[in-house]
Amino acid sequence: MKTEERHKNLELCIPYVFGRLNPGNRKQFEAHLATGCPLCIKEVAELHEAMALMPLLLKQQEGPPRIKQQLMSKLSAGKRIRPEEQRPAVQQPSAATERTPSKRAWAPYTLGALSILIILSLALYINDLVGTIGGQERRSNELQTELQRQGELLAILQSEDLEVVAMNGVLNPAAYGKILWDPGKKRLLLQASNLPITPVEKEYQLWETKGGRPISLGVFAVANEQEKQNFLRILDADVGQKQEAQAFLVTLEGKGGAQQPTGPTYLRTR
């Protein structure tokens, strides 16, 4: 990114933190933050910390105990808190108790309105039902994918000839990783911890060096904080026997990977 563009983005930090960017600009700025621009990330972090001092101007006060009780019971029930559930229901006078002679004249209209209401309710119910079924289908697909992944993990771990190598952090000593594979099968399991979240337009690349020549074993991205803590991925790669490999390393390259390692090395075998 050019210096002047970066500077332009820097000016957006204050309105962003104050919530004054329109949705389009906010999305654009968040995409910019996701690229890992160190200047803007630092600026936003400092502004967030500074603005977080404002509530300290108010005198500290615990809320009523019922807030915590309701919160914890909702979490235990495993469902979201819906504000309308917390308010006592307002007792509306029943239409049946207000019947007056003039009401009879409105009977046809009332019946018509009721019919429309019933049709609308049915339409909403059907729409809701379709949405629920769609959601359940999505969930079912997610579970099937997860089940398949677990099966693949298990198949690798159950191999008789399982090879394992450990990798240490290079840029960050807290980072570490492992590669597990069965030489007879063209798949490997990569585990990594404390790799930074992958910047946009970048991907990590796993390499094996044989005879002084680097061979790419695949690319991957650490998408979020959870994956940063513990990343697990099965890669299709023919690693071969452990003794044939001189080293394994993980570098950060452009999206799609590189022909040979060019970016910074994050993990390397001990």
Partner 1 sequence: MTLAEDNKRDIELLKRMQRGDQEALAQLYARYSPIVYPLAVRMSGSVEEAGELVQEVFVHVWERAGRYIGERGSVYSWIVAVCRNKALDRVRARAQKRRPKEGEGSASQGVQEQSIRFDTQDLLVLKEYAAAVRSTLKSMPKPELRILELSYFEGSSQSDITRTMRMALGTVKSKMRKGIQRLRQAAKSPGGRA
- Cα 84 from chain centroid (whole Å): 28
Site string (192-231) toward partner 1, x via CB under 8 A: -----x--------------------------xxx--x--
Nearer to partner 1, 229 or 246 (CB): 229
* Residue number with CB closer to partner 1 (88 or 256): 88
| Nearer of residues 143 and 197 to partner 1, judged by Cβ | 197
Q: Is residue 48 at the binding interface for partner 1, with CB under 8 A as the rule?
A: yes
Site for partner 1 in 230-269 (CB under 8 A): none
Of 55-63, 146-154, 176-184, 201-209, the window that binds partner 1 (rule: CB under 8 A) is 55-63
Applying CB under 8 A, does 14 fall inside the site for partner 1? yes
CA 194: distance to chain centroid?
16
Rounded Cα–Cα distance for residues 257 and 219 (Å): 6
* Nearer to partner 1 (CB atom), residue 39 or residue 247: 39
Beta bridge partners of 10: none
Options 1, 31, 50, 119; binder of partner 1; rule CB under 8 A: 50
Question: By 3-state DSSP, what share of the chain in percent is helix, strand and coil, each rounded to 5?
Answer: 45, 20, 30
Q: Which residue has the tokens 């006078």?
A: 93
For partner 1, the binding residue among 1, 31, 52, 200 (CB under 8 A) is 52
- Comparing CB distances to partner 1, the nearer of 20 and 139 is 20
Distance in Å, CB of 60 to partner 1, minimum: 4
Half-sphere exposure of 216 (CA within 13 A, CB side): 16
d(CA 242, CA 234): 18
Nearest approach, Cβ of residue 189 and partner 1 (Å): 22
Q: How many helices (H) and strands (E) in the chain?
A: 9, 8
User: Please, which of residues 62-91 interact with partner 1 by CB under 8 A?
Assistant: 62-64, 66-68, 70-72, 74-76, 80-81, 83, 86-87
| By the rule CB under 8 A, 47 interacts with partner 1 | yes
51 lies in the binding site for partner 1 (CB under 8 A): yes
Task: Compute how many other C-beta atoms are within 10 angstroms of the C-beta atom of residue 134.
Answer: 10
| 252/259 Cα distance (integer angstroms) | 13
What is the smallest separation between the CB atom of 53 and partner 1, expressed in angstroms?
A: 5
How far the first Cα of the chain sits from its last, in Å, is 36
DSSP 28: H
E strand intervals along 110-201: 163-169, 176-181, 187-193
Binding footprint of partner 1 on the chain (CB under 8 A): 14, 17-20, 33, 41, 44-64, 66-68, 70-72, 74-76, 80-81, 83, 86-87, 197, 224-226, 229
